[in-house]
Structure 1
Amino acid sequence: MPTYVAFLRAINLGATRKFPKDAIRSATEAAGGSDVETYINTGNVRLTHSARSVAKVQAALERAYAAEAGFEVPTIVFTTRDLATLTARGDDLHDSHEGEVGNHYVTLYATAPPAAAIEAAHALEHDGEAVVVDGRAAYVLLDGDIHTSRLLASKEFKALGQGTARTIKVLRTVTEKWCRD
């Protein structure tokens, strides 16, 4: 059976969106997942599933998560091969970036952003901030902090769509743990 990694968006961010790891594991199994593992309590899940489509796995997980959590849980799913490629691309960008990188975030999307939105995001120029959109990921390299980033607050970045962000460090860790095929 294929192995997937799912990234849940906007969970455990306050009193009303609690979704603990044990509940995530139970809901993942209810959606047909097996060999389920989680990493930290921010919604990183490894599973095997009989479906041979990322979209089908995503839909099954979102239904099961909403039923278990009592609220919608947008979920972004990758094959382990695609996640390994995505993480390697992030490492290459990090290594080739001129200047100091204080923070490196990767926003993951269910589908690739529209070409016009990618072009507009790539045209952004903010000192100490860079974005590269490649496939279903937007790699953001910041000299400063995520909370003060002009790039992340821009309408051009928001036009890329709804995604979920992880640090490159988290992606490296889950890739090392779960993407061994």
Structure 2
Amino acid sequence: MATWIVFLRAVNVGRRSYPMAELRQTLTDAGYANVETHIQTGNVRLTSGLRSRAKLEAAVEKVLEADRGFEVPVVALTPVELAALAADVEIISSTDPPSGGHYVSLLKATPTAGATGTIEADPPDGERLVVRGRSVHLLYDKPYHEAKRSNAWVEKAMGVATNRNAKVIRALAQKWGS
């Protein structure tokens, strides 16, 4: 059995409600084991016989869409990848700490070198973007709602992504990282 940390995109926003108790039950009923959630933003730990990230993501998305009636894209990481992501958060934040916040867009696919260059190049004042593997670190010296380069902007450049703040990444790594 493989352990996965699964991040749901855009749940509990607007009409896209997915109470965490119902999410845990849905995934358990679908055959996943050791299902846990963390806060209401769609952070799930589970174990599965699926060892392929792409197969796991597709299977979970199919289960969630069948249950909710709308698409729920997911991004999956292993516990080791989550721990490495949290380490990146610490390194990147400590180099030039952002005064407005540190957010991480988790990508479904690894970006090309060209896409990485586009994302990191010429950010607006008070914003820095750093690509590491399948994540884009968004560092702001302004409030999040004032940023021009948000998760939506990252998605336009790199495809499906879901966003968490650095505090959530740290908490999840403490709880579920290896």
Question: Residue 18 of structure 2 corresponds to which residue in structure 1?
Answer: 19
Question: Residue 56 of structure 2 corresponds to which residue in structure 1?
Answer: 57
Matches within 5 A, 1:108-147: 108-147=106-145
- 1:86 maps to amino acid: L
8 A contact 2:154–2:161 mirrored in 1: no
**Alignment partner of 1:41: what SS?**
coil
1:71: Cα distance to partner? 0.7
Question: Residue 34 of structure 1 corresponds to which residue in structure 2?
Answer: 33
1:100: Cα distance to partner? 4.2
Seen in structure 2, the aligned counterparts of structure 1 residues 146 and 107 have a Cα distance that, compared at 3 Å, is: same
Matched, 1:90 2:89: yes
1:157: Cα distance to partner? 6.8
**Alignment partner of 1:108: what SS?**
strand
TM normalised by structure 1 equals 0.91
Matches within 5 A, 1:133-172: 133-152=131-150, 158-172=156-170
Q: Deviations over 1:159-180 (max 9, x none)?
A: 122200000100100110111x
Seen in structure 2, the aligned counterparts of structure 1 residues 28 and 157 have a Cα distance that, compared at 3 Å, is: closer
Question: Residue 7 of structure 2 corresponds to which residue in structure 1?
Answer: 7
8 A contact 2:110–2:133 mirrored in 1: yes
Any stretches of 5+ residues in structure 1 without a counterpart?
none
How many angstroms apart in 2 are the aligned matches of 1:113 and 1:17? Answer: 27
How many angstroms apart in 1 are the aligned matches of 2:109 and 2:27? Answer: 21
8 A contact 2:100–2:144 mirrored in 1: no
Q: Percent identity?
A: 40
How many angstroms apart in 1 are the aligned matches of 2:170 and 2:73? Answer: 22
Question: Residue 79 of structure 1 corresponds to which residue in structure 2?
Answer: 78
**Alignment partner of 2:124: what SS?**
coil
- 1:151 maps to amino acid: R
Seen in structure 2, the aligned counterparts of structure 1 residues 24 and 156 have a Cα distance that, compared at 3 Å, is: closer
> Structure 1 residue runs of 4+, over 4 Å off?
153-157
Matched, 1:107 2:105: yes
Q: Deviations over 1:106-130 (max 9, x none)?
A: 0001111232221111112322210
Any stretches of 5+ residues in structure 2 without a counterpart?
none
8 A contact 1:35–1:47 mirrored in 2: yes
Root-mean-square deviation over aligned CA pairs: 1.8
Seen in structure 2, the aligned counterparts of structure 1 residues 3 and 155 have a Cα distance that, compared at 3 Å, is: closer
How many angstroms apart in 1 are the aligned matches of 2:71 and 2:164? Answer: 19
